[in-house]
Structure 1
Amino acid sequence: MAKTLTAKSVDATRPDTLRREIPDGGMPGLYLIVQPKRERDGKELPPVMSWAVRYRFDGRPKKHTIGSYPAYSLKTAREEASRLMRGVSEGKNPAEEKSFRKARKVDSVNDAIDYFLKRHVTVKNRSTTLKERTRLFDKDVRPKWGKRTMRSITRFDVVKLIDDTAERAPIVANRLLALLRKFFSWAVDRDIIDTSPMEKKIDPPGEEKTRDRILSDDEIRIVWLAAGKMGYPFGPMIRLLLLTGQRRSEVAGFEWKELELGGNNQLWVIPPERSKNRKEHFVPLSSLALAEIEKLPKVKPKEDQDPIFLFTTTGRTHVSGYGNAKKSLDKEILSIVKDEAMKRGEDPDRLTPWEPWTFHDLRRTAASGMARLSVAIHVLEAVLNHTSGSIKGVAAVYNRYDYASEKRAALTAWADYVTSITALRK
């Protein structure tokens, strides 16, 4: 009868002249494989040992290698052997599963990440999401786990990675935690691993506060004037952000072909591949928004091609560099604020600075402004292209009405309000 191995006895095992397989009496089917003794320059090298399970499948003897020692301790080797033998009793062949994983090239973390990005993220998300998730994997995951096997990643590994990231950037750590949870859940679903190391909840390390910055009427007026001083491309883009309430990426990537101006439509149609929820979105354009669009130059990529983007400097790609654009806008804002203060007889150097704000706050400001104008919440959600909110469950499934008239009325009322604000003092 095989002796029960102990951590001490395994650690004390030394190689012989022949390869050996030492059975573990504590876990039937588990073997410690000890490779023959090796020498280099007359000196004996450390022993090379690994774990394997032997079992019968379809009446034939089979062998499956678990991993090397001490990467797999006696305890973890027994746990893995127990899991594999349970699988055999359920009709699963570990050797075939291993061959299948190798064929898909998803044994290592790097391979699994590549497969995840290709088969899941690229298919179900926008290009901006793919770019951000690729960046998180490349910066924080691949350098530490890339060459390890997926099965070797433990809950402790995840917790340590998240905590290390949190010391540098708590909010990034939150994003990484959410991404890894999705990644390992996907790996379980694809039979790359059997259980997720994140099966037990791991709390986000960073405390996030929901932004609630809304520009006041006077701030809206000054932003409008400052955007007008900036000129093309960011000036009119900022104005459209405010007038339409759409996302920065959607406005920045606005293409001329997305305009429908026939009859009384005056629509901007955001295609599914550019909307966050992957659904076509219709944005009625107010006369003020149309006036901004009509003033735009049409920058062509080549002389023989039609212009593609409303906001571009090259003709080939839409605008980027939003951080620098915000700095330029802030300079124009400060200039206007100081000039108006001097006209009022105030000291321009003693003015109270604005509370920090972002381009996304223009979307929130527009939404809040329409709400103040008594726009119903379900119409407001339709304007913003939100998929969750006041209409849920069965009602959401059967409610396919686009609220076209109501959206147009809401955006027209908001544009009129912006006009009234900006006309107060120019």
Structure 2
Amino acid sequence: MVNALTQIGIDALVKQGPPDKRKELSDGQTPGLRLVVHPTGAMSWAYRYKAIDGTQKKLTLGPYAKRKGAGLTLSEARRKAQEAQRRRVEGIDPANAKKIERQRQAAAIAKADLQEADQFHQRFSEYMRREASQLRSAESIRAVIERRFFPKLRKRPVTEIKRKDIQNIIDRIMDDGEPSAAIQAFAFIRRFSNWLVERGVIEVSFCNGMKPPAKPQSCDRVLSEQELRWFWKATGKIGYPEGTWARVLVLTGARRSEASHMTFSELDLERANWLLPKERSKNKEAITIPLSKLAMSELQSITPLGNPPSYVFSTGTGRDGKIAPISGYSKFKSRIDAAMLEEAQKEATERDEKLDAVEIPNWTYHDLRRTCASLMGELGIPPHVVEAALNHKTGQIQGLAKVYNRYEYLKERTQAFEALAARIEEIATGEAAPSNVVQLRG
């Protein structure tokens, strides 16, 4: 008969020192309970039993402790072993029951965290609707917030969001070449976190101690004819989506986000027009953008994705299973830069020049828009037509003329974009523009 374990006996065992090899001591009072003594001197409790399928199993109960708090005392180990025995009698495998309990607890914690995260998301959305009107480019800020912040923070309890989390996201936006978006997003996040502090949701603002991102330097970069030639050849090699998208940028003078979120429903290919809604326009004014024959050929080469088709420029479905617009502008830019450099080096080799001397100054997507305007000016297109073509209010029309002049210059803009396309094609191929293209001078 196995004797019951006692605290005095266990104390004596401890004084004897660690055994040469692992051994288990049975408790005569509680069937299946074992005190496991390791050669390291550590001791733990285990419960051995026969499973429903007849196999022998062991359930680890926890480390041994003489007093409560540091582990399981003798009485606590007996209670746990008796609970395991009751489960076995009920037809439940004790080891599985322990695993199921851990999963249940983890699920309960995750559910609580998700509920808190959902509340955070709801508060964020409510604050966005109420306060966004006070910030510049509210729609673009909303897009940045929902695309950059929500995926990273949505499943986190709001009380666990730290300054470094916000800083990391802001840094990534800056690294992607979006300084203006980073500045505006930071301003919004700071206002929102201060609002949470006021409500007592958090104690300290997420942005406490953070400095706003550096303001982007003003730039007047325009691609030279040589660079534009390399750009056109490079984007042609890269192809859809980023190569085609980049070509549309320079052919339409559109802003980056306006073109990347272009939908098939906005295109009127029969009339060769792109109907940009006011919701996606920076100045909140809808505009019909004429599409040149060259722009049309680029767009008509695209195979629509999705049913029904949605975004014109896409790499496939997003996390929600829906067709998503292109993103990752910095990666696109890197690919275009590499392809342009390859074209430049190819030409240098043909001229027997050293490849080390070939260098292309950095440019941005907005420089394509500036290049578009510059080429139109070179063609003699009047400034107010260029302004209308780019949907940009620079102040060429002032006073009462600004109030009453609602003429959209659609005919003039159509001619301007055709002339622009012809000039780009001439630069890219080295061939003169077709005689049927109207060249607008003075």
Task: Return the TM-score normalized by structure 2.
Answer: 0.54
Q: 1:220 to 1:307 in 2, by over 3 A?
A: same
Cα distance, 1:259 vs. partner?
1.6
Letter in 2 for 1:336: E
Q: Indicate the residue corresponding to 2:333 in structure 1.
A: 326
Q: Indicate the residue corresponding to 2:393 in structure 1.
A: 387
Letter in 1 for 2:141: T
Question: Structure 2 CA distance, aligned partners of 1:396 and 1:371?
Answer: 22
The correspondence for 2:411, drawn from 405, 412, 419, is: 405
Question: Structure 2 CA distance, aligned partners of 1:181 and 1:389?
Answer: 33
Question: Structure 2 CA distance, aligned partners of 1:174 and 1:290?
Answer: 35
Q: Indicate the residue corresponding to 2:274 in structure 1.
A: 268
Taking only aligned residues, the RMSD between alpha carbons, in angstroms, comes to 4.5
Q: 1:117 to 1:354 in 2, by over 3 A?
A: same
Question: Structure 2 CA distance, aligned partners of 1:182 and 1:395?
Answer: 39
Q: Indicate the residue corresponding to 1:307 in structure 2.
A: 309
Q: Indicate the residue corresponding to 1:249 in structure 2.
A: 257
**1:205-238 C-alpha deviation (Å, 9 max, x unpaired):** 9565211111001100110000000011111111
What is the SS of the residue equivalent to 2:316?
A: coil
- Match runs of 1:131-210 below 5 Å: 131-132=143-144, 175=184, 206=214, 208-210=216-218
Letter in 1 for 2:361: E
- Match runs of 1:66-85 below 5 Å: none
Question: Structure 1 CA distance, aligned partners of 2:241 and 2:182?
Answer: 34
Letter in 2 for 1:325: F
Question: Structure 2 CA distance, aligned partners of 1:421 and 1:179?
Answer: 43
Q: Size of the alignment, in residue pairs?
A: 287
Contact 1:370 1:414 in 2 (8 A): yes
Question: Structure 2 CA distance, aligned partners of 1:406 and 1:289?
Answer: 17
- Match runs of 1:41-120 below 5 Å: 115-120=126-131
Is there any run of 5+ residues in structure 2 with no aligned partner, and where? Answer: 1-120, 151-157, 160-169, 200-211, 318-322, 432-442
Contact 2:244 2:298 in 1 (8 A): yes
Letter in 2 for 1:370: M
The correspondence for 1:130, drawn from 142, 148, 152, is: 142
Cα distance, 1:248 vs. partner?
1.0
Letter in 1 for 2:382: A
Contact 1:269 1:280 in 2 (8 A): yes
Contact 1:243 1:366 in 2 (8 A): yes
Cα distance, 1:372 vs. partner?
1.4
Cα distance, 1:399 vs. partner?
1.4
Cα distance, 1:135 vs. partner?
8.9
**1:121-172 C-alpha deviation (Å, 9 max, x unpaired):** 279855431144679999xxxxxxx99xxxxxxxxxxxxxxxxx99xx9x79
Q: Is 1:293 the counterpart of 2:299 in the alignment?
A: yes
**1:49-91 C-alpha deviation (Å, 9 max, x unpaired):** xxxxxxxxxxxxxxxxxxxxxxxxxxxxxxxxxxxxxxxxxxx
Q: Is 1:279 the counterpart of 2:285 in the alignment?
A: yes
What is the SS of the residue equivalent to 2:324?
A: coil
Q: State the identity as a percent.
A: 36
**1:73-128 C-alpha deviation (Å, 9 max, x unpaired):** xxxxxxxxxxxxxxxxxxxxxxxxxxxxxxxxxxxxx9997643122327985543
Contact 1:173 1:206 in 2 (8 A): no
Contact 2:269 2:296 in 1 (8 A): no
Letter in 2 for 1:322: Y
Q: 1:284 to 1:333 in 2, by over 3 A?
A: same
Cα distance, 1:392 vs. partner?
3.0
Q: Indicate the residue corresponding to 2:63 in structure 1.
A: none
Question: Structure 1 CA distance, aligned partners of 2:297 and 2:247?
Answer: 11
Task: Return the TM-score normalized by structure 1.
Answer: 0.56
Question: Structure 2 CA distance, aligned partners of 1:111 and 1:309?
Answer: 27
Contact 1:379 1:406 in 2 (8 A): yes
Is there any run of 5+ residues in structure 1 with no aligned partner, and where? Answer: 1-109, 139-145, 148-164, 193-203
Q: Indicate the residue corresponding to 1:361 in structure 2.
A: 367
Considering only CA atoms, is the larger Rg found in Structure 1 or Structure 2?
2
Contact 2:141 2:184 in 1 (8 A): no
Cα distance, 1:289 vs. partner?
0.8
Q: Indicate the residue corresponding to 1:162 in structure 2.
A: none
The correspondence for 1:234, drawn from 242, 245, 251, is: 242
Contact 1:126 1:274 in 2 (8 A): no
Cα distance, 1:410 vs. partner?
1.1
Letter in 1 for 2:336: L
Contact 2:376 2:420 in 1 (8 A): yes
